[in-house]
Amino acid sequence: MTRVLLLIPSATYRAADFVAAAKAIGAEIVIASDAEPVIPDATGTRSIVVPLDDPAAAASVIIDLDERRGIDAIVALDDRGILVAAMAAQRLGLPCNNPDAVARTRDKESMRDALGIFEMPQPRYAAFDEPGEVVGLIERIGGFPCVVKPVGLSASQGVIRADDAASALAAATRAQKISGGGRLLVEQYIAGTEVAVEGLLRSGTLEVLAVFDKPDPMEGPYFEETIYVTPSRLGASILEEIERTTAEACAAIGLAEGPVHAELRVDGERAWIIEVAARSIGGLC
């Protein structure tokens, strides 16, 4: 029987769906989480505790488990576990992404730098440390409007549009507070509709599972996730461009295996990369 290790943060709301999916294909499940389950699992599913915020140490715990029980696949539910999964799978010789590539998806500055090397269509951007620096960077990205965001958060947390110097400073101050400190990005605001791409990489080839429209206007100042609709209502030519751009962005970042969730802006017949994550879609999709 195939044995799958699921990396499940204790605070997630997605565990039940992943466990059900694994059981549906007849896989034996091992759950690795950052805390012991509050209620023991009556099904007999084995669980271990791993320090998700220390990926190297967490990977070592998984390696030790493999030596005793054997693991055939490692699946991370969300961003907190993806680097652990990559590091452990690489050491075990399982199909996986290079940990360096995964780390790029967790740091928006590193991701932008990697995409820039391959001249991918993306917003102009600049990184900075202190909120007061943001106004001096606006000319570099082409002026207002702009978008300010923390480099290390996901799910649109701390992503704020600004239309003038005062609102840019306020956005940077708020974004840094939300993230608990650390570097920020200021980016060119790309007008147009926003879409999400859900895909699966196998040996560097992207299979697109769905393209989601976001029917609510994504114009800011905040960009909260609301409704996703699929199949997309966009035309065949721009859908082809979206899929091609997503595949090329994955290659530029260095991703080659596993789930991909990407966010793009569509302006006419051009698709711009906003984010790429090495995980499946969040929410209740």
- 227 backbone φψ class: left, alpha, beta (φ>0; ψ -120 to 50): beta
The pLDDT tens digits of the residues spanning 220-277 come to 999 988 899 999 999 999 999 999 999 999 999 999 999 999 999 999 889 999 999 9
Task: Give φ, ψ of 184 to 5 degrees.
Answer: -125, 160
The pLDDT tens digits of the residues spanning 25-66 come to 999 999 999 987 644 554 457 889 999 999 999 999 999 987
pLDDT surpasses 90 at 16: no
Longest dimension (CA), the chain: 60
Ordered by start, the domain boundaries in the chain are 3-95, 124-188, 193-277
Residue 285's pLDDT is what? Answer: 62
Q: Which CATH number applies to 3-95?
A: 3.40.50.20
Residue 38's pLDDT is what? Answer: 44
The pLDDT tens digits of the residues spanning 166-175 come to 999 999 999 9
Pick 240 or 12 by higher pLDDT. 240
124-188 and 193-277 in the same fold = no
Most confident range, picked from 1-10, 36-45, 135-144: 135-144
Q: In CATH terms, is domain 193-277 a member of 3.30.470.20?
A: yes
Q: What is the mean pLDDT of residues 153-170?
A: 95
Residue 39's pLDDT is what? Answer: 45
Kindly state which CATH superfamily the domain 124-188 is placed in: ATP-grasp fold, A domain (3.30.1490.20)
pTM of the shown model: 0.93
The pLDDT tens digits of the residues spanning 57-115 come to 999 999 998 777 789 999 999 999 999 999 999 999 999 999 999 999 999 999 999 99
Q: What is the mean pLDDT of residues 190-211?
A: 98
Residue 44's pLDDT is what? Answer: 55
Pick 93 or 13 by higher pLDDT. 93
Residue 205's pLDDT is what? Answer: 98
Residue 45's pLDDT is what? Answer: 72
